[in-house]
Amino acid sequence: MKTDSGLILVSNAEPYAYNWNEDDEIEQEKLAGGLTSAMDPLLQEAGGTWVAWGREEADFEVLDSENKVRVPDENGYDLRRLNLSEEEVEEFYLGFSNEVLWPLSHSFLERSNLEDYRECERKWNFYEEVNRKYADAVLEEYSGDEGIWIHDYHLTLVPRMVREEYPDADIAFFWHIPWPSWSIFGALPWRKEVLKGMLSSNFLGFHTPSYKKEFVSCAEKAGLRGKESNLEEPGVGTTISSVPLGIDYDWFTSLAEKDEFKREAQDLRDDLAAERIILGVDRLDYTKGIPQRLRAFELFLEENPEFQGEVSLIQRIPPSRTSADEYQSTLEKIERIVGEINGKFGKHGWTPVKSFHRFLPKQEQLIPYYLAADVQLVTSLCDGMNLVSKEYVATTDEGVLILSEFAGAAEELEEAIQINPYNVKETAQSIKRALTMPSEEKRERLNKLKKKVRENDLMNWRDRFMEGWLDK
Ligand code: GDG
């Protein structure tokens, strides 16, 4: 990788959005999401250009004649925005990416709408078209020297499209979500196109060895065998690697020391009138297993009445951009269960479950929640990595992490209490175990977890990714 010449980073999600405020002024907002929160500090340090879709009201008001704006300020990097039509958003983004590839990758084959071939094909055609738009924007930015780093499932065809124009381009691709087995992925009518697209990269990264293994097996089953696959490609071989994403550990620990956040954490506790707090933080998505988590908490309260009035569950659910129907039905389901639990157990000013749906404009606003929580409960049914579990480990002083074995983070964070989120009874028992865990055991587990999260932090991940890419 030619690091000296900077990076062209490509993702569907943009790191910053612009909106009008009440005074009719344009305001910059940093956006949520695992990908953007991980990559933004890296690009601020390395410099370069980030190509992404501009989706907010004032996004195009702030651009120069080359469709770029510097973010977060003059000392930052260039953000080049792509405009997608309503139809492209519907078919490429909500359609093929989020209604076909997302569920398929999370092994929810039945949710992937593949039974209607014609409809899927229409979405696929848009997917190809929009990938072409991204590739064209990259080609306009490319001077022949930069490393091109493409992210995630929306853009699998871009590496091949760039490679066709520049056979020697240095291209890396990182896949942020799980990679499923062939019995699931093989169902995709365009499986070969997706695989060939990704295999046109020089370096291809996944979060865990298991996803990498499944990917290689899919490539083999599709007749594209690892390095040899590129013999029919214009590029050279592809190195496939597992490089688990980390967080900016020091940033979280330094914020955890701030008095203002400690005070806010105390306010949260006081507001809930609860002695102990369990926390969940997840985008509104069916893969996060929020209903299972709520049912587990309900069962825990039922089976352990001594904890009623003592323990509350705070569930933060920042919105995600899925189709309106999907969003609504997931939200309704969650709200119904929250209502049931609060109706059944709530008393004397104590609220068993408090759910917040507002997206917090600054990520650091999550710190008081992490500090207030005695237990963090992660019940993803399937999750590429799950950064919030690592953020909690970095921030908390004496908390316990309960972690789904189906989150990529579980392969690293072995000292968490690991659960099968579908086994609600087991999760309920784990909540009790976490709340009654002796201090010494808590400390021991947390120290080991902190060590891992610190050692494999964001900078280390970046270096390991770059090393793998450079070694090509
Ligand atoms: C995908 C994969 C993979 C949360 N609420 C707010 C907020 N957040 C931040 C958290 C965290 C990020 O969003 C969420 O990251 P996760 O990794 O937990 O989950 P996904 O969004 O599903 O991310 C996932 C990830 O990509 C990276 O590869 O780990 O498996 O699904 O950083 O702190 N940030 C702000 N306000 C909020 O209200 N500002």
Confidence at residue 440, expressed as pLDDT on a 0 to 100 scale: 97
Mean pLDDT of 450-461: 94
Instruction: Report CA(284)–ligand 1 centroid distance (Å).
Output: 11
- Answer yes or no: is the C-beta of 29 below 6 A from any ligand 1 atom: no
Say how far apart CA 215 and CA 197 lie, in whole Å.
Answer: 13
- pLDDT of residue 361 exceeding 90, the answer is no
Predicted confidence (pLDDT) per residue in 58-105, tens digit: 888 889 999 999 999 999 999 999 999 999 999 999 999 999 999 999
Provide the percentage of residues in the chain whose pLDDT is more than 70: 95
Grade residue 449 by pLDDT with cuts at 50, 70 and 90.
very high
Mean pLDDT of 150-176: 95
- Answer yes or no: is the C-beta of 245 below 6 A from any ligand 1 atom: yes
Grade residue 328 by pLDDT with cuts at 50, 70 and 90.
confident
- Answer yes or no: is the C-beta of 366 below 6 A from any ligand 1 atom: yes
- pLDDT of residue 266 exceeding 70, the answer is yes
Higher-confidence residue of 32 and 139: namely 139
Mean pLDDT of 317-334: 81
Confidence at residue 278, expressed as pLDDT on a 0 to 100 scale: 98
- pLDDT of residue 228 exceeding 50, the answer is no
Pocket test for ligand 1, best of 385, 390, 456 (most atoms within 8 A of CB): 385
SS3 for 54-68 is CCCCCCCCCCCCCCE
Say how far apart CA 412 and CA 461 lie, in whole Å.
Answer: 13
Provide the percentage of residues in the chain whose pLDDT is more than 90: 78
- Largest Cα–Cα distance of the chain, in whole Å? 70
Q: Find the range with the poorest average confidence among 230-244, 250-264, 321-335.
A: 230-244
Q: Determine contact, residues 381/288, Cβ cutoff 8 Å.
A: yes
Q: Determine contact, residues 293/403, Cβ cutoff 8 Å.
A: no
Say how far apart CA 233 and CA 236 lie, in whole Å.
Answer: 8
Mean pLDDT of 192-201: 94
Confidence at residue 284, expressed as pLDDT on a 0 to 100 scale: 92
Say how far apart CA 8 and CA 30 lie, in whole Å.
Answer: 20
- pLDDT of residue 5 exceeding 80, the answer is no
- Answer yes or no: is the C-beta of 34 below 6 A from any ligand 1 atom: yes
Mean pLDDT of 423-434: 98
Confidence at residue 174, expressed as pLDDT on a 0 to 100 scale: 96
Look up the CATH number of domain 249-455: 3.40.50.2000
- Answer yes or no: is the C-beta of 284 below 6 A from any ligand 1 atom: no
Confidence at residue 325, expressed as pLDDT on a 0 to 100 scale: 77
Say how far apart CA 67 and CA 110 lie, in whole Å.
Answer: 39
Predicted confidence (pLDDT) per residue in 20-67, tens digit: 998 999 999 887 666 787 788 888 888 899 999 998 888 888 899 999
Q: What angle do CA 253, 35, 31 make, to 5 degrees?
A: 80
Confidence at residue 4, expressed as pLDDT on a 0 to 100 scale: 62
Mean pLDDT of 460-468: 89
Q: Determine contact, residues 334/317, Cβ cutoff 8 Å.
A: yes
Mean pLDDT of the residues in the chain: 92
Confidence at residue 229, expressed as pLDDT on a 0 to 100 scale: 41
Predicted confidence (pLDDT) per residue in 150-162, tens digit: 999 999 999 999 9
Mean pLDDT of 253-274: 94
Instruction: Report CA(342)–ligand 1 centroid distance (Å).
Output: 27
Give the architecture-level CATH label for domain 7-245+459-471: 3-Layer(aba) Sandwich (3.40)
Mean pLDDT of 124-139: 98
398 φ, ψ to 5°? Answer: -150, 25
Say how far apart CA 468 and CA 472 lie, in whole Å.
Answer: 7
Confidence at residue 47, expressed as pLDDT on a 0 to 100 scale: 87
> Which residue's alpha carbon is nearest to atom 8 within ligand 1?
32
Confidence at residue 225, expressed as pLDDT on a 0 to 100 scale: 64
Among 402, 387, 393, 371, CA closest to 447: 393
Instruction: Report CA(250)–ligand 1 centroid distance (Å).
Output: 18
Q: Do domains 7-245+459-471 and 249-455 have the same CATH topology?
A: yes
Domain ranges across the chain: 7-245+459-471, 249-455
Confidence at residue 320, expressed as pLDDT on a 0 to 100 scale: 76
